[in-house]
């Protein structure tokens, strides 16, 4: 005769053990998710942000770093401690178009003397300057200090990209000027535009790949609103939330509209929002057009954004729009790399 009581007890014990195991797993995952050691941590290492070994660059967080109002900023936030041909093309094109501007290339990682000597662009263009960001010191006494010091970036699913998002807004908050991504080609002077501007990259987002906040009252109010939004609304689990999401939310409030296609300097209190044709003439969904053989359709843009996130594994055809742009606006870099340009 079966001992039903014994069987029931065994089953209850198994259920209890399963429940305990589930609770332990949930607690463990919660602990990981709120620590510096996420399961995907190995994908994007940002430990270099806290290293000073072999660093020869001047510090961007010292009192000696005082960019002029005519400043363009680029950020390199990976730990690869190098610049690609695409990066150098962006810097060269900006330097050529703005010989009277300081082109500031800010590194989150330490750069050695050996690596620095490989960046021949510094010798070619006197207005190009490299500096090092020590992120804890750089954020000190700013609204995002606690976010940085508490390890908020370590919780991010996209650490390098979200660090770039944070640092671009923080830099414009600290110094004012123009920020550009490293995957652009600058085709025209940007000081012919409004003093404060951004551009729509789609019908849903104002882009953050190219933005200008001057030190006037308009620029200061936008910079303060952006850094405040980051402080309050930083998300580690959403790709666009801390980049284009910030400027989009700020402008929806400032312009008193949720329709970004209606945004302009009139309803946005002197902050200009340009159309995508001037900064994002090829949408990210069609980014391969930059790399395939063909003619550049839009020749009136100020900036061409080649969407590295989508195209990093593409090599531009010699007759592609990207190669044509490079030969025109960053000829030194294009000649230096030859067939390896764009890799």
User: Distance between CA atoms of 340 and 85, rounded to whole angstroms?
Assistant: 8
Strand partners, 304: 185
3-state secondary structure of 222: helix
Residue 311 belongs to a domain: yes
Count up the domains in the chain and report the number: 2
What's 256's domain CATH number? 3.90.550
Where in the sequence is the domain holding 28, given as residue range(s)? 4-34
Q: Are residues 9 and 76 in the same domain?
A: no
pLDDT by residue (tens digit) across 243-292? 999 999 999 999 999 999 999 999 999 999 999 999 999 999 999 999 99
Neighbours of 341 (CB within 10 A): 23
Q: What is the pTM of this model?
A: 0.86
Residue 43 belongs to a domain: no
Q: Are residues 15 and 77 in the same domain?
A: no
Residue 40 belongs to a domain: no
Neighbours of 77 (CB within 10 A): 26
**For strand 197-200 and strand 128-132, is the pairing parallel, antiparallel, or unpaired?**
unpaired
Residue 314 belongs to a domain: yes
3-state secondary structure of 4: helix
Residue 39 belongs to a domain: no
Counted residue by residue, the chain has a size of 343
pLDDT by residue (tens digit) across 133-186? 999 999 999 999 999 999 999 999 999 999 999 999 999 999 999 999 999 999
Q: Are residues 57 and 197 in the same domain?
A: yes
């Amino acid at each position: 005769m079966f001992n039903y009581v014994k069987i029931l007890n065994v089953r209850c014990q198994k259920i209890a053990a399963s429940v305990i195991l589930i609770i332990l797993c949930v607690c463990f995952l919660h602990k990981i998710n709120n620590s510096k050691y996420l399961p995907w941590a190995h994908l994007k290492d940002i430990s270099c942000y806290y290293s000073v070994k072999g660093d020869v660059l001047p510090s961007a967080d010292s009192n000696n770093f005082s960019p002029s109002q005519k400043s363009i900023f680029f950020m390199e936030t990976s730990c690869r401690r190098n610049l690609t041909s695409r990066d150098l093309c962006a810097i060269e094109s900006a330097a050529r178009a703005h010989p009277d501007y300081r082109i500031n290339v800010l590194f989150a990682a330490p750069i050695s003397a050996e690596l620095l000597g490989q960046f021949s662009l510094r010798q070619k263009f006197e207005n190009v300057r490299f500096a090092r960001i020590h992120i804890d010191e750089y954020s000190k006494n700013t609204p995002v200090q606690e976010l940085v010091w508490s390890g908020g970036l370590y919780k991010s699913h996209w650490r390098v990209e979200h660090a770039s998002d944070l640092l671009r807004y923080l830099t414009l908050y600290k110094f004012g000027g123009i920020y550009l991504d490293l995957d652009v080609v600058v085709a025209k002077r940007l000081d012919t535009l409004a003093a404060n501007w951004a551009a729509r990259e789609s019908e849903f987002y104002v882009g953050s790949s190219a933005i200008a906040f001057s030190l006037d009252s308009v620029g200061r109010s936008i910079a303060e609103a952006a850094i405040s939004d980051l402080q309050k609304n930083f998300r580690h689990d959403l790709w666009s939330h801390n980049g284009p999401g910030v400027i989009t939310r700020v402008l929806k409030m400032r312009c008193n509209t949720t329709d970004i296609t209606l945004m302009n300097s009139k309803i946005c209190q002197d902050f200009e929002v340009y159309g995508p044709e001037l900064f994002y003439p090829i949408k990210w969904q069609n980014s391969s057009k930059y790399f395939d053989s063909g003619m550049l359709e839009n020749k009136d843009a100020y900036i061409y954004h080649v969407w590295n996130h989508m195209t990093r594994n593409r090599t531009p055809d010699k007759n592609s729009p990207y190669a044509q742009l490079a030969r025109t606006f960053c000829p030194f870099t294009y000649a230096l790399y030859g067939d390896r340009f764009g890799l």
